[in-house]
């Protein structure tokens, strides 16, 4: 079991668009195993490869006791809306109301290159959107608006020497 350390806000890998996976090999399978081991810790709903310092389009999730992964995800079928507190392992101690689609379809591949489709609603939809954002170099605080955004940016300036974006 390999639990990898989480990169924290300010690390450039979190703001860099991840590269598509092109080789479905033993190295990818080890990355997926590490991501799934890392997401299994209590209180974790998802971990994207950039959060463990790897710039590839892969994430793991742990929602409702179901642990899985998705390689090269593409989201579609956004429907409805939900607003709830959202947090991020890379922004420890922060959490803000964030609006996401209530349901979404995630298409990609498993670690062997086989097509995979995940239909997510509620919290799973939130996790799929959050983790896919990480692969684009986007953090959930980037989606905040108004007072919540101002409060988040103030808090980031307080806890981080050089907040970005």
Helix (H) or strand (E) holding 115: strand 115-121
Active-site positions read 131
CB 58 within 8 A of CB 32: yes
CB 61 within 8 A of CB 46: yes
Q: Which residues on adjacent β-strands are paired with residue 116?
A: 108
CB 71 within 8 A of CB 87: no
Between CA 149 and CA 156 the distance in angstroms is: 10
């Amino acid at each position: 079991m390999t639990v990898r350390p989480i990169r924290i806000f300010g690390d450039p890998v979190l703001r860099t668009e991840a590269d598509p996976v092109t080789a479905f090999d033993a190295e990818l399978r080890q990355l997926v195993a590490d991501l799934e081991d890392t997401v299994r810790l209590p209180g974790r709903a998802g971990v994207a490869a950039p959060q463990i310092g790897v710039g590839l389009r892969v994430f793991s999730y742990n929602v409702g006791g179901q642990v899985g992964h998705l390689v090269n995800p593409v989201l579609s079928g956004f429907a409805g809306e939900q607003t709830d507190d959202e947090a991020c392992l890379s922004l420890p101690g922060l959490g803000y109301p964030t609006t996401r689609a209530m349901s979404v379809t995630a298409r990609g591949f498993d670690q062997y290159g086989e097509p995979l489709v995940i239909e997510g609603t509620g919290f799973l939809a939130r996790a799929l959107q959050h983790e896919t954002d990480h692969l684009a170099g986007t953090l959930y605080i980037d989606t905040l608006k108004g007072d919540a955004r101002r409060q988040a940016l103030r808090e980031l300036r307080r806890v981080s020497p050089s907040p970005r974006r």
